[in-house]
Amino acid sequence: MAKVRIYQLAKELGMSNEELLEILDSMGVEYKSHASTLEDETAAAVKELIGEQRLAEEARKAEEARKAIPHRAPVVVIMGHVDHGKTSLLDYLRKSRIAEKEAGGITQHVGAFEVKTKGGTVVFIDTPGHEAFTSIRERGAKVADIAVIVVAADDGVMPQTREAIAHAKAAGAKLIFAANKMDLPQASLEKVYQGLMKEGIVPVAYGGEAEVLPISAKTGQGVQDLLETILITAELEDLRADPNAEATGVVLESRIDKQAGVLASLLVQQGTLKVGDYVVAGEHWGKIRAMTDSEGVRRNQTGPSTAVQVLGFSEPPSAGTAFEWVPDQVAAKEITEERRLEREAREVAPEVGRPRNIADLLRQMQGSEQKEINLILRADTQGSLEAIQQILSREQSEEVKINLLLAAVGAPSESDVLLASTANGAILSFGVTPAGSVKKMAEQKGVPLQSFRIIYELIDEVRKMVRGQREPVYKEEILGQAEVRAVFKLSSGVVAGCMVTSGKITRNADIRVLRKKQEIWKGKIHSLKRLKDDVREVAQGFECGILLEGFSDFQEGDVLEASQRVEVVQE
Ligand SMILES: Nc1nc2c(ncn2[C@@H]2O[C@H](COP(=O)(O)OP(=O)(O)OP(=O)(O)O)[C@@H](O)[C@H]2O)c(=O)[nH]1
């Protein structure tokens, strides 16, 4: 390699000769002038140094830019076991907020409400429960920064408390615990502490990091402390949002009102939403005609960490969908139309790319340094659950970590599927059978769900995965057959006009051409059309045009057999 002269390197690095000479001086490199040549190693060292300096400068600028963005209020969701007091806590917070205002203030249900304290504002999502929350998360939007997990202090940690913890963690929310019903004589903070410790959560009182606040949603005792803890947690999280950015956020709720039309509650997370703006949410769009805040006040605009009810969507967007600002109606229509078409294509396409069992999950992680299997474990009894957990913890290896999202007694539920889908995890059940609806949902979402009757078979499965002993085995599955009824020679190639005589022909299938039952060619489809349209599949009884990749010598009466490779689930 030709040696580089100082002025050449300066040019390459986009700096002046003087600047580069200064750097060379600081490195102790000797030279005569800017025309002197540099050793290869010296040039490489200079480049590395400059690269590092530039990276540091970029990081500093990025941090400066971030700091210039104002803080925003934390958004909090309340979760917990049934009857532990989620609704009561929300009611208390809502009432205390109204009491601070003039009596008689009309509140408006907009999906979230603000509680203002001396230390700052906290936004609470109006609906308790983790399913809704996780389905929002599953759609890719993050709605809550903090989850308050309510645990009734007379009852202690219960199955849904565990689920709530798992869901909140999977969603990346910070957890704060509220030991509720402390007004009851049988309430025991100690019981809540013990229950949490069993889940591996160590309360501050025991030297750990988990904030556990004793409260009563009935009397209001401790609620102020809870609010303060939320604000402190939020401060540590350093939550910021740019009010000048294009508005984005999440649809919290939507419904059709007989008089007003479509009402949607939106949580603005970034930017400022204004009356007159166009927004898209999933496959729906709207022009914001009016906005009302939680106090029932008409607004012309609203900034980050606020919820408003808006008028202007022509159809209700689904709760949990992210929304975003778009410049005009043309963009709104085009984007929503594109999304609709994409969904339709997905619906007819066979599920590809989605993991179907743990081996697939692991393969997807190939390349990452430490693989982590996210598992949900369901078992018939606490005893078997603990036994499985203990053995599993020994099965982890340097490369593969087993991360138990949730270990609970009872059959896998739809909420488990949501959780697994969000966290890209798998569900293993022992001695319990998932309901048909749960299996179906798992299938739809591509969540691996496997049931076992013998503990060691379950362990064996995980062990094989962890040790990577299991190579996938495929078998061929025949999808269907089509008969060639006519041959068309077009400029694009020779198209076989076919009738699907059994099953279906899919666009991605492997094709075998059979003539008098003998295979004469094997390969892939180049295009599959019904009438003039490209389609993903054609079912029995329908005609279609098939162009193959590399075969054109069709004869009437040839049979095209479609098949696909499926992984054999090994026992
Ligand atoms: N004594 C006492 N009772 C409470 C307290 N908080 C809630 N309760 C009572 O506990 C019961 C359940 O409270 P909810 O607020 O409905 O509980 P939840 O968690 O929202 O219940 P679900 O919505 O069914 O999951 C109600 O009868 C409440 O009155 C409290 O702090 N003290």
pLDDT digits over 156-176, tens only?
999 889 888 988 888 788 999
pLDDT exceeding 70 applies to what percent of the chain?
A: 88
Q: Is the pLDDT of residue 570 over 80?
A: no
Among candidate residues 426, 494, 430, the one with its CA nearest the CA of residue 459: 430
Q: Is 270 in the pocket of ligand 1 (CB under 6 A)?
A: no
* SS3 (DSSP) at 121: strand
User: What pLDDT is recorded for position 262?
Assistant: 92
> Are the CB atoms for 110 and 308 separated by under 8 Å?
yes
Backbone phi, psi, residue 486, to 5°: -155, 155
- Ligand 1 centroid–CA 180 distance in Å is 9
CATH 2.40.30.10 maps onto the chain at 248-348, 474-568
What CATH number should be reported for the domain whose range is 248-348?
A: 2.40.30.10
Q: Is the ipTM reported for this complex over the cut 0.95? A: yes
Dump the DSSP string for 456-505. HHHHHHHHHHHTT----EEEEEEEEEEEEEEEEEETTEEEEEEEEEEEEE
User: What pLDDT is recorded for position 324?
Assistant: 94
pLDDT exceeding 90 applies to what percent of the chain?
A: 43
Which H/E stretch holds residue 234?
helix 223-237
Across the range 112-122, mean pLDDT stands at: 90
Dump the DSSP string for 495-553. EEEEEEEEEEEETT-EEEEEETTEEEEEEEEEEEEETTEE-SEEETT-EEEEEESS---
What CATH number should be reported for the domain whose range is 358-469?
A: 3.40.50.10050
User: What pLDDT is recorded for position 332?
Assistant: 93
- Ligand 1 centroid–CA 84 distance in Å is 5
Please state the atom number of ligand 1 nearest to the C-alpha of residue 82: 25
Q: Is 536 in the pocket of ligand 1 (CB under 6 A)?
A: no
User: What pLDDT is recorded for position 268?
Assistant: 96
Q: Is the pLDDT of residue 103 over 50?
A: no
Q: Is 130 in the pocket of ligand 1 (CB under 6 A)?
A: no
- Ligand 1 centroid–CA 134 distance in Å is 22
> Are the CB atoms for 363 and 414 separated by under 8 Å?
no
**Cα 140 to the chain's mean position, in Å?**
4
CATH 1.10.10.2480 maps onto the chain at 3-68
Give the pLDDT band of residue 294 (cuts 50, 70, 90).
Answer: confident
> Are the CB atoms for 123 and 130 separated by under 8 Å?
no
Residues annotated as binding site for GTP? 80-87, 126-130, 180-183
d(CA 307, CA 292): 9
Q: Is 154 in the pocket of ligand 1 (CB under 6 A)?
A: no
Across the range 464-481, mean pLDDT stands at: 72
Minimal-distance CA residue to ligand 1 atom 2: 181
Q: Is 161 in the pocket of ligand 1 (CB under 6 A)?
A: no
Q: Which two tokens mark 323?
A: 């929304």
CATH 3.40.50.300 maps onto the chain at 75-237
Q: Which amino acid type is present at position 103?
A: A
The dihedral formed by the CA atoms of 66, 67, 72 and 73, expressed in degrees to the nearest 10: 120
User: What pLDDT is recorded for position 259?
Assistant: 86
DSSP 259: T
What CATH number should be reported for the domain whose range is 75-237?
A: 3.40.50.300
HSE-CB at 51 with a 13 A cutoff on CA atoms is 6
pTM listed for this prediction: 0.65
What proportions of the chain, in percent to the nearest 5, are helix, strand and coil?
30, 35, 35
Phi-psi region of 241 (alpha: psi -120 to 50; beta: other; left: phi over 0): beta
Which residue has 């309510």 as its token pair?
A: 150
d(CA 217, CA 86): 8
> Are the CB atoms for 437 and 430 separated by under 8 Å?
no
* SS3 (DSSP) at 289: strand
What CATH number should be reported for the domain whose range is 474-568?
A: 2.40.30.10
Q: Is 233 in the pocket of ligand 1 (CB under 6 A)?
A: no
Q: Which CATH number fits domain 3-68: 1.10.8.10, 1.10.10.2480, 1.10.3720.10, 3.20.20.70?
A: 1.10.10.2480
